[in-house]
Structure 1
Amino acid sequence: MKITVSSLLLLLVCSVSTGQPETTTQVCPQDIHAVLREMTASLAQLKVEVTSLQKENQAYAAKLKELEKQETEIDKLKEQLQVTQVAFSASLLASGSKTIGPSSTHTTLIFKHVLTNIGSSYDPNTGMFTAPVRGAYHFEWYIGVHASSTAAVLVKNTNHIFTAHQNQTSGYGSSSQGATLLLEVGDVVFLRLWQNDKAFDNQNHITTFSGHLLFTV
């Protein structure tokens, strides 16, 4: 706000010369009290405007804080949505043709060719699926074999769940199995080839392991 200073200027120039040989000082006609009242009123108005601006700034700050809070909540919801989107599917070999086994001990099957891994909960380096949230998960596995027996068991942490078994005396055969498990956060699920058994895979990706989250609990 611009403060009117015309009256103040008049006060500064209120002393004038009369043109007589002796200089006399004439009394300024403006009332100094009136000038002070005008300046006081102007300052009061300025204070009102400043107070109004401060209130507006506080309102803007409150709105900005609320907006930041909403953005944080949206980010959390996005993270939760990503966590609940879990699915993977992989085959045993990335390329070529190979028979795994037999071995004198149980062997963890590591499925290298990853077709889908939404949520990145399956690790192709270890063959382990780790549950990111508590919920019901469904798993399926298909095991191929040539002229031998095969038994691939689904393992939850250290517990054997279901087994896909096939005793193929000649030629090619396969076995499949599925299971729905209630998993806690951090539970691991993987496939274990039974000792003295075999599993076969080739470029057609016939030995596979898949799973997905059905719903959270």
Structure 2
Amino acid sequence: MKHALGLELLLLNCACVFNLSILTDDSGRNITDLDMNNIDPKNSDVFRQLLNQETLIRMALVKNVHVLMKDMVDLKKKLESVESLQQSAEIKITALQQEVNDLKRENQKLSLENRKFEETFSLVKDNFTQIKDQFKDFAKEVEEKRDAFERNTTMFNMSLETLSDDLIATSTKLSKSVSNLENSQNAIIASVADDINKTLGDLKTEVKQSQNDQLKLSATVSSLEVFRMNITNNHCDLGKKVAFTAGVTSSSSSWNSGTLVFDKVTNNVGGGYNPNTGIFTAPLNGDYVFYVGIQSRSSDVNDIYVGIVLNGSRKVRAMAYNYNSNDDYETGTNMVTLRLQQGDTVWVKYYAGKGYYTYSDAPLTTFSGFLK
């Protein structure tokens, strides 16, 4: 505004100066006011031409002054508009500076939270490394026990074959002796034969039980090996880990319907298993492995059947059946691989039988699963 006022005063001064005439002695008089008596007739024409030229120059100067004054008014308006824009820009700049300060404070807060998250992630990573090392030791111990069991089974089978041959030979000898004995010895021979048959039946039962136990142990070792391989292959992607193991802490002699709720959670990576309902809900899409182990009660309730269910559809069953009707406890196991979408549900459902057996501190009846 100060520069505009100065320019206006300068233009007014120019206008005043241009109103003066050199030919009229700077008096500013009009042509009609000149004293023509004192002008030499010879020079009158020249003087008249000079006056006409002066008049034309003066008119041109006045016109230019008006144009300059108009431009000055326009410039003044533009300066006022610029000042308004400058004030608006200063307000916006102040608001932007405030937003920048807010963003800086938010960035500091996020940096602090990120540091805490990195510390937590490091702790989880260390814990996972420890679990991995412990699992390797456990797998090695299981492998050693399986090898020892296979050696013992082989020795047992060899002993059984030898014993069978001896028993057959003894039976043959007894049969030959019986033909030479009197009727008074028939009762003794029959008693010996019964003892032999009973012994053979008991040995066959023990062999069948041993083979059944070996199959169960092999299935357990296979599932543990699959679990170990998945842990090894996916150890670097902690954000996609899903695994759980849960067990039942109290036995029942009357359970005969509905969902089996495994209320003791040993591990629940990813939070998919709900110990209140016994239902696993898939937090991620992928291929999952599920394993169930059910322990039957003794001869009062000698069998139990359960199934692994996906969204209400039974996929596999596990059976614990006491086939010799003795006071024995039997274990039924099964494992299944299922392709799940996020939100699919899997649980263990009753199929047949009655009741199950377990321990409170280290459950016998368990339910496990993990993402491959």
Give the shorter-chain TM-score range.
0.5 to 0.7
Task: State TM-score, norm by structure 2.
Answer: 0.35
The answer for the alignment partner of 1:110 in structure 2 is 261
Is 1:145 aligned to 2:299, yes or no?
Answer: no
Aligned residues: 154
Is 1:164 aligned to 2:324, yes or no?
Answer: no
The answer for the alignment partner of 1:187 in structure 2 is 344
Is 1:133 aligned to 2:284, yes or no?
Answer: yes
User: Larger Rg: 1 or 2?
Assistant: 2
Distance in 2 (CA, whole Å) between partners of 1:165 and 1:82 is 35
- The 3 A distance-change label for structure 1 pair 87 and 153 is same
Q: What per-residue deviation string (whole Å, max 9, x for no partner) do you get for residues 91-116 of structure 1?
A: 111xxx4225342xx32100011111
Is 1:84 aligned to 2:229, yes or no?
Answer: no
Q: What per-residue deviation string (whole Å, max 9, x for no partner) do you get for residues 150-204 of structure 1?
A: 1110000110000011211331110111011000111000001224333211233
Judge conservation of contact 1:90–1:209 (CA < 8 Å) in 2: yes
Which amino acid letter does the alignment assign opposite residue 272 of structure 2? S
Which amino acid letter does the alignment assign opposite residue 146 of structure 1? R
Q: Which runs of 4+ in 1 moved over 4 A?
A: none
Is 1:207 aligned to 2:362, yes or no?
Answer: no
Judge conservation of contact 2:305–2:353 (CA < 8 Å) in 1: no
SS at match of 1:199: coil
Judge conservation of contact 1:102–1:195 (CA < 8 Å) in 2: no
Distance in 1 (CA, whole Å) between partners of 2:254 and 2:308 is 17
Aligned-pair identity in percent equals 30
Give the superposition deviation at 1:83.
5.5
Judge conservation of contact 1:146–1:173 (CA < 8 Å) in 2: yes
Q: Choose between structure 1 and 2 for higher RCO, CA contacts under 8 A separated by at least 6 residues.
A: 1
Distance in 2 (CA, whole Å) between partners of 1:123 and 1:100 is 24
Distance in 2 (CA, whole Å) between partners of 1:113 and 1:181 is 24
Structure 1 stretches lacking a partner, 5+ long: 1-53
SS at match of 1:140: strand
Judge conservation of contact 2:306–2:352 (CA < 8 Å) in 1: no
The answer for the alignment partner of 2:254 in structure 1 is 101
Distance in 2 (CA, whole Å) between partners of 1:87 and 1:178 is 15
Task: State TM-score, norm by structure 1.
Answer: 0.58
Which amino acid letter does the alignment assign opposite residue 119 of structure 1? G
Distance in 2 (CA, whole Å) between partners of 1:183 and 1:92 is 25
Structure 2 stretches lacking a partner, 5+ long: 1-92, 122-236
Judge conservation of contact 1:82–1:119 (CA < 8 Å) in 2: no
CA RMSD, Structure 1 to Structure 2 (Å): 3.8
- The 3 A distance-change label for structure 1 pair 189 and 115 is same
Give the superposition deviation at 1:118.
1.2
**Larger fraction in strand:** 1
Distance in 1 (CA, whole Å) between partners of 2:369 and 2:253 is 22
SS at match of 1:107: coil
SS at match of 2:280: strand
Distance in 1 (CA, whole Å) between partners of 2:341 and 2:351 is 26
SS at match of 1:201: coil
The answer for the alignment partner of 1:123 in structure 2 is 274
